[in-house]
Amino acid sequence: MPLTASGGAAADAVPGANPIIREKFTADPAPLVVGDRLYLYVGHDEAQPDEMFNMREWLVYSTTDMRRWTGHGPIMNVADFKWAKQDAWASQTIEKNGKFWFYAAVEHDDTHPGKAIAVAVADSPTGPFVDARGSALVTSGMTPKGTHSWEDIDPTVFTDDDGTTWIAWGNRHCYIARLKPDMIGIDGPITEITPPHFEEGPWLHKRGDLYYLTYASLDRATHTDEKVSYATAPSISGPWTYRGELTGSARNSFTIHPGIVQFKGDWYLFLHNATLTIGDLGGALGRRAVTVEHLQYNADGTMKPVIQTEAGVTAPPARQDTTRTQD
């Protein structure tokens, strides 16, 4: 049995049940819908027993039915950014002007020590992606706080109704800025919008008239593992109102990382946990596995708490009474 998950053989797993990818350890899921297909960008976790993280490349998978996932292989390696030295951390891809723009956190070389945000571009959601500017979009010196070297991670990108694309990112401090129309430069000031208990992994989306900032949260006074929390706002400029926790912690994992998308009329929350075992390697901090759950909204736009399950989207949503009130 080369592939096992939660003690069960991969061959026995219900297609689409969690974790949804079982051939490799994967983390930091970022969904993108293109036509009738959902693409899922993930980091490839390759930590060995003595390592915390070992992430060198990003993978993409796709599905048309949320049950069967097709692998498209690595779309980029961190070495493709010549100015970066390691760490293929969290990413998100967005489509604009007929191209696919890939934003990712990496470790910059010693000319700008610390984490940085890279941008790459492709004509197809599965690549080939190339470094779009030959230098970092965001370096550690550009953010006002600068308290630790991994502050500038986990980009999320969102295009508003007026066509402006925004990028938010951060660890412990959450920043937001407008992207230039060419998608490879910061346009104007970088503003801090850190919501309560913000740790990392922000994800911007909009539903109806409401803007959502969903993120990995950590209440250091009471918890040791991250959960997912969120805030909402009437515009991308805020003001942001804290709405509390969306999920509990991920099984066996300090980190958790949200990615939200609407696909074929239904909303989904992608996450990761560390329940997968492949061969002799069990789940760990640096050996995670992406999952997905149904996401439902209340009539006032708040999101219903999400319970992380093994059945995932192979089971019907818990309650369907208010999910379709607003698309």
The verdict on 154 binding ligand FUB (CB under 6 A) reads: yes
Beta carbon of residue 327, minimum distance to ligand FUB (angstroms, whole number):
29
* Site for ligand FUB, residues 180 to 219, rule: CB under 6 A: 200-201
Quote the CA–CA distance of 184 and 38 in Å, as a whole number. Answer: 24
- State which amino acid sits at residue 40: L
131 vs 200 by CB, closer to ligand FUB: 200
> Is residue 89 involved in binding ligand FUB (CB under 6 A)?
yes
Confirm or reject binding of residue 269 to ligand FUB (CB under 6 A): no
Closest approach of ligand FUB to the CB of residue 105, in Å: 5
Q: Rounded to whole angstroms, how far apart are CA atoms 99 and 275? A: 35
Instruction: State the Cα–Cα distance between residues 164 and 167, nearest whole angstrom.
Output: 10
Nearer Cβ to ligand FUB, position 28 or 310?
Answer: 28
φ, ψ (nearest 5 deg) of residue 78: -60, -25
Give the residue, chosen from 16, 31, 43, 202, that forms a contact with ligand FUB under the rule CB under 6 A.
43
What tokens does 50 get? 């003595």
- Residues in Cβ contact with 99 at an 8 Å cutoff, skipping those fewer than 6 apart: 121, 122, 123, 183
Residue 100 Cα distances to 122, 127, 250, angstroms: 5, 8, 30
For 260-295, b/e burial (b = at least 16 CB within 10 A) is bbebeebbbbbbbbbbbbbeeeebbbbbbbbbbbbb
Residue with tokens 């803007």: 211
Closer to ligand FUB by Cβ: residue 53 or 129: 53
Under the binding rule (CB under 6 A), the answer on residue 313 touching ligand FUB is no
Residue from 18, 139, 247, 255 binding ligand FUB (CB under 6 A): 255
Out of 75, 84, 90, 271, the only residue in the binding site for ligand FUB (CB under 6 A) is: 90
Complex with ligand FUB: residue 91 or 232, whichever CB lies closer: 91
Whose Cβ is closer to ligand FUB: residue 6's or residue 255's?
255
For tokens 């008239």, name the residue: 209
**Residue 28 in contact with ligand FUB, rule: CB under 6 A:** yes
| Interaction of residue 153 with ligand FUB, rule CB under 6 A | yes
Can you tell me which residue has the tokens 């990818």? 21
CA 104, CA 91: separation in Å to the nearest integer? Answer: 4
Interface with ligand FUB (CB under 6 A), residue from 197, 243, 257, 287 = 257
Catalog residues that contact ligand FUB under the rule CB under 6 A. 27-28, 43, 53, 55, 89-90, 105, 153-154, 200-201, 255, 257
